[in-house]
Amino acid sequence: MGYNYKIVLQYEGTRYNGWQKQGNTANTIQGKLEQVLERMAGHPVDVHGSGRTDAGVHAMGQVANFHLQKEWEPGQIVSYLNRYLPEDIAILQAERVPERFHSRLQAIEKVYRYQIETGEKRNVFQRRMQYGLGEALDIPMMQKAAGLLCGTHDYRSFCGNPRMKKSTIRTVRAITVNQEPGTSLVIMTFWGDGFLQHMVRILTGTLIEVGQGKRQPRQMPHILEARDRKMAGFTAPAEGLCLIKVEYPCSPGEEIGYFDRF
Amino acid sequence: MGYNYKIVLQYEGTRYNGWQKQGNTANTIQGKLEQVLERMAGHPVDVHGSGRTDAGVHAMGQVANFHLQKEWEPGQIVSYLNRYLPEDIAILQAERVPERFHSRLQAIEKVYRYQIETGEKRNVFQRRMQYGLGEALDIPMMQKAAGLLCGTHDYRSFCGNPRMKKSTIRTVRAITVNQEPGTSLVIMTFWGDGFLQHMVRILTGTLIEVGQGKRQPRQMPHILEARDRKMAGFTAPAEGLCLIKVEYPCSPGEEIGYFDRF
C-alpha cells in the first residue's frame, strides 16, 4: 500500500464541476489533485476526499488522503502541490498518517457554512461566497425552525438523490442562524456527523422559506416525518455553501486555526 | 448646476482599466458609473472621483460626486446603481451634499492598504487582493524604513509620472507594516493627505526591497532627497493595493463602519 498522507486543502469552487472526478471531465478538484500528484510521484494516485462537494461549493478545510509508493517529506508535498495546482486550490497542510486512516470513513464531524446576502447587493469582495437573495429574513423564526431540524433523524426529505439506497439517517448536532447587527449578511452554520447529497442546501432553502414567512417552524417535524423530498424547500444555490472543516477522532499534530482566519 | 450627490463605493478592480475614463475605453469604474447614471437621469452625468485608482487596484471606500438636474432620493440612487452596475462594483451610500462639495478637491486624508502574501501560495479566497511575493520579509527593518518615509516631503522619487508639472510635495502621516503572528500575510497601511501617481506602489516596492535586505533603512532619506524615480524601488503590482477610505473635513450623516467589515 505504501505511505498514507492526509492533506487539508482550500478551494474556491466557482469554476469547478465539484469535488468528484467524472469520467473525462477533468475539471474537478479531485481530478486536479490526482493530475499533479501523479506527475510528482511518477505513478497513478487515488485521492479520497472526506466527502464530495457539489459544483460551485467552496472549502476552507476539506480533508483528503492518498497513498504514495515512496516516502515524501510532508513539506515537499505541500510545496509541489501548491506550485502546480491552479491558484484557486491551495494545500494548507500534509502529514503522514497510519495506514488505516481514511478521510471519509473516519470523519466524525463536518461543519458547513452558508452565507446569504439579504441586502440589495452582495459585497463585491465576498460575492463568490454568498447567495444574493436580496430580501430580508425573519431570523428568530429561522432559529426556531433550525432547532427543530437538529437531532438524529431520517433526513430523506432533505436528500437530493431520490434513488438513495443506503441509510438516510444522520445526526445534525446544531444549526445556527445569525445576522450581525447593522449588516445584511445572514450566516448559517451546520454541525453534523455527515450530510446527504444536497442536504445542507435543502435545509438552507427550507429555512429561507421559513424566514420569508412561507413556512412555519412547527411544520419542520412533519417535513422530517414525511421522508419525501417534495415536502422540503428549494435547494439553495451552491455558491453560498462552504465546507469549513472535517474532524477526526484524533488528529495528532493537526494545526488549529487555518479556518479561523475568515 | 442642479443637485450635488456624494457616493461611497466599493469595487474589485481586477477586470477594469482603473478609475478614469479614457476615450473609447468604456471599461473603467468612472465609465460604468456614468453610463448607468445617464440612463437613470436621462442626461449626461460627469462623475468626479476623489482620485484615480490604477488598473487592477481595488477600493473599499472610494468617494465620488456628481450633479443631477432633478432631485432624487439618495436611497433611489443607491438602488438604481446597484441594480444596473456589474456585480464587482457596489454603492454603499449616497447623500445630498452642498453645491461646493468636490470629492477630490476637498479630500483631506486617504487611507490605502497593501497586502503581500509571503508564503508559498496566496489564500484562495483573498488572492485577487494580494500580491503573491512568496518569500519572507524582514518586518522590523521595513517598519524602520517606513518611519523614515513619513512626513512632509517632495515625493518626486516616488512618482510614476516623469512629466509631473504640479507640486510633488505631500504629507504621509503614517505607514504601518504588520504581519500577524502565525500567518504569512504582510499588511501595510498608508495614511496621507494625497498620493502621487503610483506613489503607494513605489513606496511598497521600496519597502519590500528593504525587507529583502536589498536596501537599508538609512538610505530612505537619500532616496527622498534625490527626487529621482530611478533611486526608489520597483512599482509593486496593482492587485495588492486597495483604497480603504477617503476623509473630508466634515461629512454629516456619514456612516462609519462600512470599511471595517473586512
Q: What is the DSSP string of B164-218?
A: --S--EEEEEEEEEEE-TT--EEEEEEEES---TTHHHHHHHHHHHHHTTSS-GG
Characterize the bridge pairing of strands B58-68 and B241-247: parallel
Query: Please, what is the end-to-end C-alpha distance for chain B in angstroms?
Result: 37
> Does the structure show a pLDDT above 50 at B135?
yes
**Cell numbers 468636490 label which residue?**
B102
Provide the grid cell at B21.
475614463
Going by the DSSP 8-state scheme, the letter that residue A34 receives in this structure is H
Q: In the block, which residue shows the cell 473609447?
A: B24
Sorting pLDDT into bands at 50, 70 and 90, what band is B250?
Answer: low
Tell me whether B15 touches chain A (CB under 8 Å).
no
B129/A127 CB distance under 8 A? no
Q: Residue A52: beta bridge partners?
A: none
Q: Give the nearest partner residue to A87 out of B88, B122, B257, using CB atoms.
A: B122
> B254 pLDDT exceeds 90?
no
pLDDT, residue B1, reads 67
Main-chain dihedrals φ then ψ at residue B132, nearest 5 degrees? -90, 85
8 Å CB contact between B39 and B102: no
Task: Given the residues B54, B88, B154, B193, select the one marked as catalytic.
Answer: B54
Question: What is the pLDDT averaged over residues B235-245?
Answer: 98
User: Is the pLDDT higher at B181 or at B206?
Assistant: B206
State the average pLDDT over residues B222-228. Answer: 97
SS3 A249: coil
Place of cell 466524525: A108
What grid cell was written down for A4? 498514507
The closest of B241, B209, B238 to B115, measured between CA atoms, is B241
DSSP letter (8 states) at residue B102: -
For residue range B7-47, list pLDDT tens digits in order. 999 999 999 999 999 876 679 999 999 999 999 999 999 99
d(CA B65, CA B33): 11
Which of A87, A121, A182 minimises the CB distance to B257? A182
Residue pair B56/B236 in contact by the 8 Å Cβ criterion: no
By the 8 A CB rule, do B242 and B59 touch? yes
pLDDT at B255 over 90: no
- Inform me whether the C-beta atom of residue A116 falls under 8 Å from chain B C-beta atoms: no
B10 CA to chain A: closest CA distance, Å?
7
pLDDT digits (tens, 9 = 90+) for B63-109: 999 999 999 999 999 999 999 999 999 999 999 999 999 999 999 99
Cβ atoms B102, B48 nearer than 8 A: yes
Exposed (0-12), middle (13-18) or buried (19+): which is A8, by Cβ within 10 Å?
A: buried
CA A244 to chain B, closest CA, distance in angstroms equals 13
A15 in contact with B, Cβ within 8 Å: no
Looking at chain A from residue 27 to 86, which residues have their Cβ under 8 Å from any Cβ of chain B?
58, 60, 78-79, 82-83
Mean pLDDT of chain B: 93
Average of per-residue pLDDT across B227-241? 97
Choose the closest CB to B123 out of A78, A90, A125: A90
pLDDT one-digit tens code per residue, B46-62: 999 999 999 999 999 99
Q: From the candidates A93, A124, A243, which should be mutated to test the interface with B, based on the most B CB atoms within 10 A?
A: A124
**Among all chains, which residue has been given the C-alpha cell 481595488?**
B58
Taking residues B142-156, report their average pLDDT.
Answer: 98
> For residue B252, what pLDDT band results from cuts at 50, 70 and 90?
very low
What's the rounded mean pLDDT across residues B201-216?
98
Q: Which residues of A are catalytic?
A: 54
**Average pLDDT of the segment spanning B146-166:** 95
d(CA B7, CA B13): 18
Distance from B246 to chain A by nearest Cα, in Å? 18
Which residues in chain A (153-212) have CB-CB distances under 8 A to chain B?
182-183
Q: What is the pLDDT of residue B249?
A: 87
Given a cut of 70, whether residue B256 has pLDDT beyond it is no
Interface mutation vs chain A, best among B10, B91, B118, B125, most A CBs within 10 Å: B125
* Percentage, residues of chain B above pLDDT 70: 94
3-state per-residue secondary structure call for B105-166: CCCCEEEEEEEEECCCCCCCCCHHHCEECCCCCCHHHHHHHHHHHCEEEECHHHCCCCCCCC
What are the chain B neighbours of A9 within 8 Å (beta carbons)? none
* pLDDT score for B262: 35
CA–CA separation, B180 and A89 (whole Å): 23
CB contact under 8 A, B124 and A87: yes
Each of the 262 residues of chain A gets a pLDDT tens digit; together they read 689 999 999 999 999 999 998 876 679 999 999 999 999 999 999 999 999 999 999 999 999 999 999 999 999 999 999 999 999 999 999 999 999 999 999 999 999 999 999 999 999 999 999 999 999 999 999 999 999 999 999 999 999 998 899 999 999 999 999 998 999 999 999 999 999 999 999 999 999 999 999 999 999 999 999 999 999 999 999 999 999 999 998 654 444 444 443 3
For residue A2, how far is the Cα from the chain centroid?
Answer: 29
